[in-house]
Structure 1
Amino acid sequence: MTLKGKHALITGGGTGIGLAIARSFAAQGAHVTITGRRQEVLDEVATDAMTPLAMDVRDEDDVVAKIAQAVDRNGPVQICVPNAGLATGKAAHKTDMAFWRDMMATNLDGAFLTVRESLKTMRETDWGRVIAISSMAGIKGLPGATCYTASKHGMIGLIRALSEEYMGKPYTFNALCPGYVDTDIVTRNTASISARAGISEDAARDVMVNANRHKRLITVDEVSAAANWLVGEGSGSINGQCIEIAGGQM
């Protein structure tokens, strides 16, 4: 199966997992729209096969306008990857409503708005894939990350509901649930865990490495390979699933 001529929209597409998926889809012939908050970051990584578009997934008006702009340029969205997200830990008793609402607005509201606007044109086509980038925190609780865990559980609920709503139609809805991936998020969290737990940065990094069952960080290419499978030939019966990428059972 080829992605030639298909329009893929990936939020948080300028770095990390989103960028790896964008590059993979573009290499297969897709027209790829990558979004993020900083236009300069998107411009730096975009190729001729990519449309870089600054978009704040927390802002409904911005999402509506920018996805419409992407559709005008690249056609109906047939592959939607809501990937943009925050991954910051904070103990429940220290979580104020500003922190809670920003996390939910980004991770859950942003995913919903992205999928909703993409579906408006995907529904006009005869094939579509929605691949949400959740987390192992969407399947199990993470200590010290109550808000993040709740947002990622919500994303999986969204995907499961959509898979039922469109059952029998030529569109599938799945979530990828990676463990700790070797991205800038791990680098930032290393310092945060070190400060909160009063341990060295090496020990803090080991906390994340050891949380993966095979005791190593996952690569972004391993996550993009799973996304490739979900858009590939024979993927039509994979629907409403939470696919764990964590080196073993979580």
Structure 2
Amino acid sequence: MSQPTFKNSFTRKYRKGPYSRISPTQPALSASGKTVLITAGHTGIGFAIASNFALACAAHVIIVGRRQNMLEKASKDLSRAHPATNFHIFAASIIDEAAVSTAFRKIRQDIAEPDVLVTSAAYFPSSTNVLETPMQQMWASFETNVRGNLNLVREFLNAPRPKGVSLTNQSPKRDKIILDVSSAATHVFVRKTGVYSASKLAFTRILATAQDESSSLSQNFNLRIHSFHPGVVLTQIGRDNDHNEDTMPWDDVQLPGQFAVWLASPEAEFLKGRFVWANWDVDELLDGKERILKENLLKIGLVRKAEWAIALRRNTWKL
């Protein structure tokens, strides 16, 4: 097959819910001492990711969003469920470059240098044929999904050099990890999502290039960028587009929550700069590591023909 699709998975097992192998309580997936910044972490997939990083013992989880009241509620709920993690909130629109810069300055002054950035905020225009999408919605998609997320990435990577570390210092550099909550719509045609697909693809492609150029970005840290499809999860965006619990067999929101923690772990380092699905079984991905690297698989681009490392047709549902 030429591309993994909803009908053809990259791994034999196609996960629709959390499983023990990617449980954030696994010692190998520990985020102990880490500071994680998540946009739109007050709801849906972002909230699940925030919760699972807390289960992985992250020291700080920072949530950035536009609505102060929802941020406060999420922080209270998360703090109650995970008292060992410090939760912080910042009300800001990611398309406001000055507000994003101010938030990062305060984070670095008052909390810690972020180790992980999760770009979960997104704008989804109304479900229409691509040429019938109002121009205002079309532009808003790129404003949030590309420009806004780039504001975050640039500030995240604008990390000051740690004290006592010189350009010739041979001590291990810290990892800085970006988790791009993307969409299968970047490479799978889904009706009436053309504008959303294009904007998500644009940002994911920019990040893939940034990973390729990462050696010249900084001498102070090692950069890892992972883009992933979080599964088909019923979120408020879906409800706003007339979906409910019965319109399709949804994936459990805890699946991308756990998968994000796994992606940030050393086990997934070989997948940097690549595009994966939260539905793919991680043991099978690890078993296919050598071939994925040798054949340069799981990168978005023009595909003539690919014999996927571990792909088999799965007998499951259709969209």
**Root mean square deviation, CA, Å:** 2.4
User: After superposition, what is the alpha-carbon deviation per residue over 1:16-35, rounded to whole angstroms, capped at 9, x for unaligned?
Assistant: 11111111112323211101
Offset at 1:167? 4.8
Q: Which residue of 2 aligns with 1:78?
A: 115
Correspondences of 1:1-250 after superposition (within 5 Å): 1=28, 2-30=30-58, 31-46=60-75, 47=79, 49-88=86-125, 89-121=127-159, 126-167=174-215, 170-190=222-242, 206=247, 209=248, 216-245=249-278
In structure 2, what is the Cα distance between the partners aligned to 1:245 and 1:237?
Answer: 16
In structure 2, what is the Cα distance between the partners aligned to 1:87 and 1:179?
Answer: 16
Amino acid paired to 1:28: A
In structure 1, what is the Cα distance between the partners aligned to 2:226 and 2:198?
Answer: 18
RCO (CA 8 Å, sep 6+): is it higher in 1 or 2?
2
Answer yes or no: is the 8 Å Cα contact 1:129–1:230 preserved in 2: no
Farther off after superposition, 108-117 or 138-147 = 138-147
Farther off after superposition, 34-43 or 164-173 = 164-173
In structure 2, what is the Cα distance between the partners aligned to 1:161 and 1:188?
Answer: 33
Offset at 1:231? 1.5
Farther off after superposition, 35-44 or 121-130 = 121-130
In structure 1, what is the Cα distance between the partners aligned to 2:208 and 2:160?
Answer: 18
Structure 1 counterpart SS, 2:101? helix
In structure 1, what is the Cα distance between the partners aligned to 2:192 and 2:111?
Answer: 41
Q: Which residue of 2 aligns with 1:198?
A: none
User: After superposition, what is the alpha-carbon deviation per residue over 1:39-81, rounded to whole angstroms, capped at 9, x for unaligned?
Assistant: 1101101126210111101111111111222222221111000
Amino acid paired to 1:136: A
Farther off after superposition, 10-19 or 63-72 = 63-72
In structure 2, what is the Cα distance between the partners aligned to 1:112 and 1:187?
Answer: 27
Structure 1, gaps ≥5 residues long: 192-200, 210-215
Amino acid paired to 1:180: V
In structure 2, what is the Cα distance between the partners aligned to 1:122 and 1:87?
Answer: 34
Offset at 1:218? 1.2
Q: Which residue of 2 aligns with 1:194?
A: none
TM-score, scaled relative to structure 2: 0.67
In structure 2, what is the Cα distance between the partners aligned to 1:122 and 1:80?
Answer: 16
TM-score, scaled relative to structure 1: 0.84
Structure 2, gaps ≥5 residues long: 1-27, 163-172, 281-312
Answer yes or no: is the 8 Å Cα contact 2:231–2:256 preserved in 1: no
In structure 1, what is the Cα distance between the partners aligned to 2:175 and 2:130?
Answer: 42
Offset at 1:161? 0.8
Structure 1 counterpart SS, 2:158? helix
Structure 2 counterpart SS, 1:87? coil
User: After superposition, what is the alpha-carbon deviation per residue over 1:217-247, rounded to whole angstroms, capped at 9, x for unaligned?
Assistant: 1121100111111122323222111112357
The 3 A distance-change label for structure 1 pair 238 and 167 is farther
Q: Which residue of 1 aligns with 2:19?
A: none
Answer yes or no: is the 8 Å Cα contact 2:228–2:276 preserved in 1: yes
Answer yes or no: is the 8 Å Cα contact 2:255–2:279 preserved in 1: no
Amino acid paired to 1:16: G
In structure 2, what is the Cα distance between the partners aligned to 1:225 and 1:245?
Answer: 9
